[in-house]
Amino acid sequence: MIPPYSPQEEQAEPPVIFSLPANQDSSEAIVPVPLPKEIKRAGMVYREFSRSGDIAIYCGKGKGSRIEYEVIKVQLLPAQELGAHSYPVREAFPKP
């Protein structure tokens, strides 16, 4: 049985590692905006429970004793402009 999420048990985030081509150094690396640690969706609050590379587990809590876990493969979206808004390189939840 998986124990319920507890903020006191929050782990340090693992370092993100990017591989660069041989002709580049880290001064040219673009670090994406990470996923939020907490989101609200469908009447539930989801908190990042665990993360390893591009795989994340979110723990969702709803009314009463309802708890659910979602395992996702983190997507990487390119920098882009949509309308009058500019968006940097960023992580995103997968599209349904």
Q: Is 88 contained in some domain?
A: yes
Separation CA 22–CA 2 (nearest Å): 43
Range of the domain at 79: 32-96
The number of folded domains in the chain is 1
Model-level pTM? 0.65
- Segment 90-96 long-range contacts (CB within 8 Å, at least 24 positions apart): 90/32, 90/33, 91/32, 91/33, 91/34, 91/35, 92/35, 93/35
Q: Is 79 contained in some domain?
A: yes
- What DSSP character marks residue 66? -
Q: Is 23 contained in some domain?
A: no
Q: Is 13 contained in some domain?
A: no
What is the arithmetic mean of pLDDT over 59-71? 93
Q: Is 19 contained in some domain?
A: no
Residue 43: partners with Cβ closer than 8 Å, 6 or more residues away: 62, 63
Q: Does 44 or 7 have the greater pLDDT score?
A: 44
84 has a pLDDT exceeding 80 = yes
